[in-house]
Structures are given as C-alpha cells and as structure tokens.
C-alpha cells in the first residue's frame, strides 16, 4: 500500500510537469545498504531515527527518494515544494519544504513557509548524497533533532572581485511531538529488555517532545577563490518534555519548561585542485558539542576520502542526576565512483567508538560498550 501511494505520487507529478510550462520538477535519491561487521549494531543517529543497522543486510533505513517542484507563480514569485519518501517510513511521502520565494533582485531573495534550518554547512543538501563525497554527511556533527522550521528567511549576496559574501537572517518556530530522534536516543539509554537467555527483545516505552519558539538566526558565508568560511548562529526558546509510558498512561519524568537556547556552528572548506578539505564544529548550549573534519582526493572518476567526527553531550537536567552522558567518535574510510555526471556509487567503512556512559545503541552483552564497525554501500543520483 505504501509503495502504491508513492507510485501515485510520482505519477501525479509527472503528469503535472507535462501540462504546466511554468512547473519544473527535479529529484534525487539514494539506495543505501549496510551491515555490521563487528559489535552489537551501528546507528548513524540520523534525523527521524534513521540509520540503524543490526545483523544481515539492511536496505531500508537510509534509502530515500525525493521530488521537488518549482512553480513560477509570477515574474518574481516562485512556489517550491519538496516531498521526501524514506525507507525508514516505509516510503510514505512527506512534505520537507513548502515555501514561497520572492526574488527582490538578482542578489536578494525572501522566502516564507516551511524551510530547511540553515545551521550547518551542508544543511540544504543533507539528503542529496550525490552532492558530497561521503556516503552520508558525518552524522556525529549533524545531530540537531530538528531540520526544518516554519517561518521567514531573507538572503543577500554581494559579489566581489575576489569572491562573494552571502548574509542570511531568518525567524520562525517548530514543534515536534513526538521528537523521533530524541525518543530513539533516550529509549536506548532508558531501558533495554532481554529475555531469560539474554536475547535483546525491545526497548522501554517513552515519549519525548520538543517545541521551539522565537527562533532567530543568521548565517554569514564568505567565499574567496578556493576558501569558504561559514558561521551560523541561532537563538530562541525551547521546551523539552520526557514522559514514561505505562499501562496507566503518560508520566512526566522531567522537562516541560521553557528555556533559552543557542546553537553556534562554524566551518572552513578548502577546494585545492584535486584536494577537498573541510572542518566543522558546533555547540548546542548545555546540550552537546560536536565536530568533524575530512579530506578527499578527486582523481578523475574516483574520490577516496577519510573523515573523523565526534560528539560529546552534557548533563542538562539537574532533576535527573542519574542521567548518563553521550560521548563517541567515528572514523570513516570511503570511496566514491562517479558512474555518470549525476550518479555516484559509494562504499564506506565506519569505525564507531563509544566513549561515554550511556549506551548509544543495542548493548546485547550489557557491558556498557556499544563500539561497532559497519560497512555500507550507496547509489546516489539526481534528476
């Protein structure tokens, strides 16, 4: 049934694009397969809780297909909608972006609606695997539980003789109930159930919500020849709630209060002929710090790469002194091969090291160690 609905969705867009001269349809996708070579399991901690691998070959968790429609409403107005179907959600199409764009000049644009939260260097293309060398954007450093917001964004670009500067400001809000990524993270930390012979049988039921209000942010990006420097800043208010679920219903364990929040991110990118180097660091006030750095070498159709990434959480809620901390690092070794201008085949070996007290994924032998080695292959494309 899910595939039927998704096929109908694709067909409707194809028909619409054939009849409407002002409608442009594009898309992208990734077919991702992965397995665990050692350890109890590997989880990339992607948005919505995707990227989980246990035993055998897993083809659903990260695979995705998206269509984007750009409709020219008038000379300066465009309407943009992006729909993404993920294997993690049984390929049920969901609206990712939906906004109106007013082109004020060749260098200035105003957007209103549901937009991608522009906090990271690769925020806009996190799902578009063909645009970057890695099999996935290093998820240790792309850990924010919200990737879209509802609001307004204004961008201005200045072109200089040596490069360009782009300045973006935005404001909005976003409610997640439940917050699927945080719920999955906390479930593994809360209760892992095992039968009498020690087999993992499931997780304890919890429910988390996260509401954001008064979100105000800015992004400053400077590009000079082979160097790109980017800085983003976001502030606002957030309300996080954590509920235990029992036969008697929901019981608030902690949270449910509005607190100020800040998120900072900085990145440096170098494009030196065949070499590509990038480093990114971010800080989520009282929640975590994370980072990644990567080097890739493009030799015609082949691009080998390596990256290092890390995440370190902090204890946020004093009312829960037993709360365990998250601290882990990843090393990725991969290779990309360009089959065509917009088609790439990738493979990546990921070495995950759990350095914290909290279990990051399934801990079958209950020793607190969730280290893992995983292998994945992807076919990325756009059209």
Higher pLDDT, 12 or 37: 37
Alpha carbons 208 and 146: distance in angstroms, whole number: 13
Query: Tokens representing 281?
Result: 């660091």
The per-residue pLDDT for 171 is: 98
The per-residue pLDDT for 323 is: 61
pLDDT tens, position by position, 19-57: 456 889 999 999 999 999 999 999 999 988 999 999 899
Per DSSP, the three-state class of 129 is: helix
The per-residue pLDDT for 18 is: 45
Does residue 17 surpass a pLDDT of 60? Answer: no
Percent of the chain with pLDDT over 70: 92
Task: List 379's β-bridge partners, or say none.
Answer: 31, 345
Does residue 311 surpass a pLDDT of 60? Answer: yes
Task: List 240's β-bridge partners, or say none.
Answer: 210
Does residue 80 surpass a pLDDT of 90? Answer: yes
**Which of 23-27, 126-130, 134-138, 156-160 has the weakest average pLDDT?**
23-27
Cβ-based neighbours of 382, under 8 Å, separated by 6 or more = 26, 27, 28, 29, 128, 130, 131, 342
Higher pLDDT, 50 or 6: 50
Q: What is the mean pLDDT of residues 123-151?
A: 96
Alpha carbons 185 and 152: distance in angstroms, whole number: 30
**Which of 42-46, 75-79, 229-233, 379-383 has the weakest average pLDDT?**
75-79
Does residue 321 surpass a pLDDT of 60? Answer: no
The per-residue pLDDT for 12 is: 53
Cβ-based neighbours of 315, under 8 Å, separated by 6 or more = 323, 325
Mean pLDDT of the chain: 91
Does residue 318 surpass a pLDDT of 90? Answer: no
pLDDT band at 165; cut points 50, 70, 90:
very high
pLDDT band at 317; cut points 50, 70, 90:
low
Does residue 138 surpass a pLDDT of 90? Answer: yes
The per-residue pLDDT for 158 is: 97
Does residue 137 surpass a pLDDT of 60? Answer: yes
Does residue 250 surpass a pLDDT of 90? Answer: yes
How much is the CA Rg of the chain, to the nearest whole Å?
21
pLDDT tens, position by position, 343-372: 999 999 999 999 988 889 999 888 878 999
The stretches of the chain forming alpha helices (DSSP H) are 2-19, 180-190
Alpha carbons 97 and 155: distance in angstroms, whole number: 17
Query: Tokens representing 298?
Result: 């493009």
Higher pLDDT, 5 or 102: 102
Does residue 4 surpass a pLDDT of 80? Answer: no
The per-residue pLDDT for 73 is: 83
The per-residue pLDDT for 316 is: 54
Q: What is the mean pLDDT of residues 54-65?
A: 94
pLDDT band at 15; cut points 50, 70, 90:
very low
Alpha carbons 109 and 92: distance in angstroms, whole number: 32
Does residue 285 surpass a pLDDT of 50? Answer: yes
Q: What is the pTM of this model?
A: 0.90
Task: List 86's β-bridge partners, or say none.
Answer: 64
The per-residue pLDDT for 162 is: 87
Higher pLDDT, 213 or 356: 213
């Amino acid at each position: 049934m899910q595939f039927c609905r998704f096929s109908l969705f694709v067909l409707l867009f194809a028909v619409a694009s054939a009849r409407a001269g002002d409608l442009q349809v594009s898309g992208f996708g990734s077919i991702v397969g992965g397995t665990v070579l050692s350890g109890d399991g590997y989880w990339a901690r992607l948005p919505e809780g995707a990227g989980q691998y246990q035993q055998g070959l897993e083809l659903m968790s990260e695979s995705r297909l998206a269509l984007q429609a750009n409709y020219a409403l008038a000379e300066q107005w465009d309407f943009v909608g992006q729909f993404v179907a993920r294997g993690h959600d049984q390929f049920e199409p969901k609206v990712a972006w939906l906004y109106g764009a007013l082109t004020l000049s060749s260098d200035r644009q105003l957007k209103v609606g549901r937009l991608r939260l522009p906090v990271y260097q690769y925020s806009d293309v996190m799902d578009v695997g063909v645009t970057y060398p890695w099999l996935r954007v290093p998820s240790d450093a792309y850990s924010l539980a919200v990737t879209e917001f509802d609001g307004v964004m204004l961008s201005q670009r200045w072109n200089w003789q040596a490069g360009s500067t782009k300045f973006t400001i935005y404001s909005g809000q976003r409610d997640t109930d439940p917050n699927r990524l945080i719920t999955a993270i906390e479930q593994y930390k809360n209760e892992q159930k095992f039968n009498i012979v020690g087999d993992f049988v499931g997780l304890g039921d919890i429910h988390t919500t996260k509401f954001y209000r008064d979100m105000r942010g800015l992004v400053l990006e400077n590009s000079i020849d082979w160097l790109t420097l980017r800085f983003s800043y976001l502030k606002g208010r957030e309300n996080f709630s954590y509920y235990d679920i029992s036969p008697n219903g929901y019981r608030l364990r902690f949270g449910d209060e509005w607190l100020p929040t800040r998120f900072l991110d900085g990145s440096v990118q170098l494009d030196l002929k065949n070499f590509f180097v990038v480093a990114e660091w971010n800080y989520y006030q009282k929640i975590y710090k994370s980072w990644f750095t990567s080097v890739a070498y493009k030799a015609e159709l082949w691009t080998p790469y390596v990256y290092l990434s890390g995440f370190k959480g902090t204890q946020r809620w004093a009312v829960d002194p037993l709360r365990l901390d998250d601290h882990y690092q990843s090393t990725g070794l991969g290779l990309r091969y360009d089959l065509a201008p917009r088609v790439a085949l990738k493979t990546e070996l990921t070495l995950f090291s759990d350095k914290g007290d909290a279990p990051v994924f399934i801990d079958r032998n209950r020793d607190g160690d969730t280290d893992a080695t995983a292998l994945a292959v992807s076919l990325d494309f756009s059209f």
